[in-house]
């Protein structure tokens, strides 16, 4: 068996005395589409932030293609082939849509901190950015400031930025949050096409999206993974039903 794309071992995170992530072990194989679901406050976004280096874990390790990520900054993790989107739209609002995508291509095209290349002179960058704009269906918006796009378009742009660098592990944090049905369908199709042959890890609330996209599902409740497996297996798991039912009952009180 080959090394998993992403491997979490004994991952824990406390904020003060509150333990948010309480020992997560998870293996995600190459090419897998993995969804992390769970009730509000289960620690899904925290888990994402631990994996991508936004917060340091209290204990435990994260391995990307077998390499330990402990102590690495987000930009170093990104350079190793992991890219993420955010729950709250996180783009460059004052720059044009095209510029947003072009910036996300720079590092992977080997430009680093160069101040002797003119970006507009690289046809490779321009074409690459235009190709991604076409993929995310924003060619018509190319020269607008990203901040004026509609919400769904900004989410699409963020997915574009996330995949542009060519990372092979893509992490999406609630990509369809706050969207209408038609917008959700559009984003789901988009995610499906742009993450072909890549490892996808996503946090999602919309069960339609989860069951439509994911090969495997993990259920996170109070910082622990209580079930992990195929959609059918997870759906039938009594622990999952209890957790979701419990959360629903709590919400009613």
Binding site for other proteins (CB under 8 A): 52, 54, 73-75, 78-79, 81, 83-84, 86, 90-95, 99, 102-104, 106-125, 127, 161-162, 165-166, 168
65 or 235: CB nearest other proteins: 65
Alpha-carbon distance 25 to 61, whole Å? 9
Min. distance of Cβ 81 from other proteins in angstroms?
7
Smallest distance, other proteins to C-beta of residue 89, A: 10
Non-local CB neighbours of 29 within 8 Å, separated by 6+ positions: 2, 4, 5, 199
**Which is closer to other proteins, CB of 125 or CB of 200?**
125
User: Shortest distance, CB of residue 222 to other proteins, whole angstroms?
Assistant: 27
Q: Which is nearer to other proteins, 111 or 244 (CB)?
A: 111
d(CA 124, CA 248): 51
Q: How many CA atoms lie within 13 A of 34 on its CB side?
A: 26
Rounded least distance, CB 126 to other proteins, Å: 9
Q: What is the dihedral of CA 137, 139, 144, 147, to 10 degrees?
A: 20
Q: Are 217 and 35 in contact (CB under 8 A)?
A: yes
Closest approach of other proteins to the CB of residue 155, in Å: 14
Nearer to other proteins, 48 or 217 (CB): 48
Instruction: Write b or e for each residue in 24-36: b if 16 or more Cβ atoms lie within 10 A of its Cβ, otherwise e.
Output: bebbbbeebbbbb
Residue 78 or 216 with smaller CB distance to other proteins? 78
């Amino acid at each position: 068996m080959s090394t998993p794309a992403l491997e979490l071992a004994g991952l824990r995170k406390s904020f003060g005395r509150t333990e948010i992530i309480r020992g997560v072990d998870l293996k995600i194989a190459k090419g897998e589409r993995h969804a992390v679901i769970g009730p509000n406050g289960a620690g899904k976004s925290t888990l994402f932030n631990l994996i991508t280096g936004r917060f340091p874990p209290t204990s435990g390790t994260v391995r990307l293609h077998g390499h330990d990520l402990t102590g690495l900054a987000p930009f170093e993790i990104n350079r190793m082939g992991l890219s993420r989107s955010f729950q709250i739209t996180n783009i460059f609002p004052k720059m044009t849509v095209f510029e947003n995508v072009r910036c996300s291509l720079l590092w992977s095209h080997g430009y680093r901190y160069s101040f002797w290349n003119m970006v507009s002179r690289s046809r490779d960058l321009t074409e690459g950015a235009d190709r991604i704009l076409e993929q995310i269906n924003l060619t018509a918006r190319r020269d607008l400031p990203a901040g004026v796009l509609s919400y769904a378009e900004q989410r699409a742009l963020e997915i574009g930025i996330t995949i542009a660098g060519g990372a092979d592990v893509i992490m999406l944090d609630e990509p369809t949050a706050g969207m209408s049905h038609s917008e959700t369908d559009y984003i789901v199709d988009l995610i499906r096409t742009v993450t072909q042959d890549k490892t996808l890890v996503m946090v999602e609330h919309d069960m339609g999206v989860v069951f439509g996209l994911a090969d495997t599902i993990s259920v996170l409740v109070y910082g622990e993974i209580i079930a992990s497996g195929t959609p059918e297996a997870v759906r039938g798991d009594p622990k999952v039903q209890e957790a979701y039912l419990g959360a629903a009952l709590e919400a009613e009180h």
